[in-house]
Amino acid sequence: MDKKTTQTVKELLSKPQKIVVIGHKNPDGDAIGSCLGLSFFLKSLGHSPTVLMPNDFPDFLKWMPGVDDILIYEKEKQKSTELLEKTDLIFTLDFNSLDRVGDLQEPLEKSEAIFMMIDHHQQPSDYAVATFSDVGMSSTCEMVFHFMDALDEKERLTQEIATNLYTGIMTDTGSFRFSSTTPTTHRIIAQLIEAGADGALIYQNIYDTNSPERMKLLGVALNNLIILPEFKTAYITLTQKELDDHDFKKGDTEGFVNYALSVDNVVFAAIFIENKQENIVKMSLRSKGDFSVNDFARNHYNGGGHINAAGGKSSQSLNKTVNEFISILPRYKQELNDVF
Ligand SMILES: [Mn+2]
């Protein structure tokens, strides 16, 4: 965090403030961890923070320290709106633009509070009085650590803060394996462990929580895996019936696409999931190296994301969507074969 932003933050926090800390819609480990970690820190400085999320989040995050005090906008609109009306400061964490908070966007835009952003996504909007944005960071949780450090308050690190920040860094780095994981990330992790974060327990709480139905659905997905060696591409399909047969819950297919990408010599992977309720096919796309699934999703599927991870959707049937996908691949043959 640069000197000017640090100075602005120090001034804003120089007297006790009412603060709302907000994460993005469909909050993940980094959004929840950074908001809770920051909130504990702000409380220790004498402020009155509340963590507010646009909507609910998966059960595997519901053990995190402080999680019971999170206010969920979708469930408590009135209370959330009143809170936003009387707050002094709003911290927005792990997102780059106010359209990432769903229905919470309107009350946020109406708010007269002072905004501060901490985030690691590209192209931050400029709504905040103080913006700490760095796309080189592994996670917003790592940035909350830097934020505490910049304010010379690192000694306020508690086990609660450390556990929250560790969780977000672990989940956003794919357990410390993505290229965004730097020596600094590991140095911070070391300090979080020293402050009481239990890495083995955190991993268990997050990843060893599969329902038997989800594991069987993964079996179906892997059985449906198709490899197209010519295009170094692999894809998975799941029909609505297959989901229904396995008591599908939101989030159950999270990460399935990565199995397709883990096949030797595959650099581009997709999963196509039929959604009869919305009458669409949802897809997740993953890639290795410099093949941009962000561009692919933007060009063909009304979506987008990051260079190696993106999403999109199609209003055609599952079969048509897959056939179309296969028909597009020859255009990318050279590019796909040039990866590595
Ligand atoms: Mn993040």
How is residue 96 annotated by DSSP?
Answer: S
pLDDT of residue 276: 95
Instruction: Give burial (CB, 10 Å; 0-12/13-18/19+) of 255.
Output: middle
Rounded distance from Cα 31 to ligand 1 centre (Å): 6
Q: Is the pLDDT of residue 89 over 90?
A: yes
Class of domain 213-338: alpha beta
pLDDT tens profile 128-163? 999 999 999 999 999 999 999 999 999 999 999 999
pLDDT band, residue 340 (cuts 50/70/90): confident
Q: What is the 3-class SS of 10-21, one letter each residue? A: HHHCCCCCEEEE
Instruction: List Cβ neighbours of 54 (8 Å cut-off, separation of 6 or more).
Output: 22, 23, 24, 25, 26, 27, 72, 73, 74, 101, 102, 103, 104
pLDDT of residue 219: 98
Q: Is the pLDDT of residue 251 over 90?
A: no
Rounded distance from Cα 232 to ligand 1 centre (Å): 29
pLDDT of residue 318: 98
pLDDT band, residue 179 (cuts 50/70/90): confident
Alpha helices in 28-76 (DSSP H): 29-44
pTM: 0.86
Rounded distance from Cα 20 to ligand 1 centre (Å): 19
Rounded distance from Cα 246 to ligand 1 centre (Å): 30
Instruction: In whole angstroms, give the CA distance from residue 212 to residue 3.
Output: 51
Rounded distance from Cα 229 to ligand 1 centre (Å): 33
Average pLDDT rounded to a whole number, residues 279-284: 96
Rounded distance from Cα 36 to ligand 1 centre (Å): 14
pLDDT of residue 227: 98
Q: Where exactly are the structural domains of the chain?
A: 3-207, 213-338
Task: Name the nearest CA neighbour of 95 among 69, 125, 66.
Answer: 125
Rounded distance from Cα 319 to ligand 1 centre (Å): 34
Alpha helices in 151-282 (DSSP H): 159-172, 183-194, 199-207, 212-223, 240-245, 256-261
Cα torsion 305, 115, 47, 153: sign: positive
pLDDT of residue 288: 94
Rounded distance from Cα 330 to ligand 1 centre (Å): 34
Rounded distance from Cα 193 to ligand 1 centre (Å): 20
Q: What is the mean pLDDT of the chain?
A: 96
CATH homologous superfamily, domain 3-207 = inorganic pyrophosphatase (n-terminal core) (3.90.1640.10)
Rounded distance from Cα 40 to ligand 1 centre (Å): 19
Instruction: In whole angstroms, give the CA distance from residue 189 to residue 211.
Output: 29
HSE (side-chain half, CA atoms, 13 Å) at 336: 22
pLDDT tens profile 30-86? 999 999 999 999 999 999 999 999 999 999 999 999 999 999 999 999 999 999 999
